[in-house]
Amino acid sequence: MPLFDLPLAQLRNYTSEVTPPEDFREFWNATIEEAQAFPLAASFEPVENHLSVIHTFDVTFAGYGGAPIKGWLHLPVNRAAGSRLPVVVQYVGYSGGRGLVNQDTRWAQAGYAHFIMDTRGQGYGGTLGETPDPHPSAGEVAHAGLMTRGAVSREDYYYRRVYVDAFRAVEAAQSHPAIDPSRVVLAGVSQGGGIVVAVAGLAAGRLDGVVAAMPDVPFLQDFPRAIDITPRGPYPEIAAFLARHRDRYEPMLAVLRYFDGVNLARWATAPALYSAARMDDICPPSTVFASFNAYGAGAADSSGTGAPKEIEVYRFNNHEGGQEHHWIRQLLFLRKILG
């Protein structure tokens, strides 16, 4: 895949035209308050994972609308009795779920608690999932995929439910006695990375303890540009829908502004490590840099300094990004943040 997007010098200065709606903060404040009215009811059931160095728990907690959301919690066996561990809360990519019980334990292998959230209504591709989406979207027009599900209104859009689930996943992780609630790290790739950005923004001023965010090649950023230039992956679901419903472009963009990571990134205060891939034709680098350049802008102090942030750029990679090389980069980043 050639370098089809902006040159790196322009990427570093690229600013999205996406702006938050006037009632953006009020909408999300009300959404989170509504979600927290339901008891979290987090449960952790020990399960056999066939691993000798990691304990695993089958997690259930109340997400959007009180619906049960599944997850895994992995803990290293050799943790000190009575100690509390930093936790990496991980969100998964589009169409994936939490996977099998021992499919991904890497953060527990590194000595951290590792919490993986299942994504409602997904798990049909890549990794398996077990969480249905029981909330039908009012007024929905039938179309393949999730990107347009419920996009007739901000209240019914699919990612409103997902972002709330992800926010409550942090609360669920913090409720476990082996986890230090003051040291929560958010991590994810692609859709998971986009959810990281959303939760980092939503947590600011609402949820203590989020100390770092690591969005890799994040999806759900700068929707208008992504719809226009992305040739592959979930964004073209929106373009295909609009090709048939030619009068829906402006109304749909008005809804998507509430869920665009660029707008949510501005609220974030936790230090961030992003990654972008220059040849990425699923989450183009300009959409990633739009989010990165906005990240923490709303938290800027009198000196103009916002949340600390770094970005690693992989020139010759497509959507796979840095993979194992970037995980080493993340381990070093967390060592700096967590000690």
209-264, pLDDT tens digit by residue? 999 999 999 999 999 999 999 999 999 999 999 999 999 999 999 999 999 999 99
pLDDT at 61: 98
pLDDT at 34: 97
For residue 125, what pLDDT band results from cuts at 50, 70 and 90?
confident
- % the chain with pLDDT above 70: 96
pLDDT at 138: 61
For residue 300, what pLDDT band results from cuts at 50, 70 and 90?
low
Q: Is pLDDT of 94 > 90?
A: yes
pLDDT at 139: 65
pLDDT at 141: 67
pLDDT at 206: 95
29 membership: H or E segment, kind and range? helix 24-36
CA–CA gap between residue 193 and residue 191 (Å, rounded):
5
Q: Supply the residues annotated as catalytic.
A: 190, 280, 319
Q: Is pLDDT of 137 > 80?
A: no
250 membership: H or E segment, kind and range? helix 249-256
* Domains along the chain with CATH numbers: 8-338 (3.40.50.1820)
What backbone torsions phi and psi does residue 80 show, to the nearest 5 degrees? -70, 140
CA–CA gap between residue 299 and residue 72 (Å, rounded):
32
For residue 302, what pLDDT band results from cuts at 50, 70 and 90?
very low
CA–CA gap between residue 41 and residue 12 (Å, rounded):
43
Q: Which residues pair with 309 in a beta bridge?
A: 272
Q: Is pLDDT of 204 > 70?
A: yes
- Mean pLDDT (the chain, rounded): 95
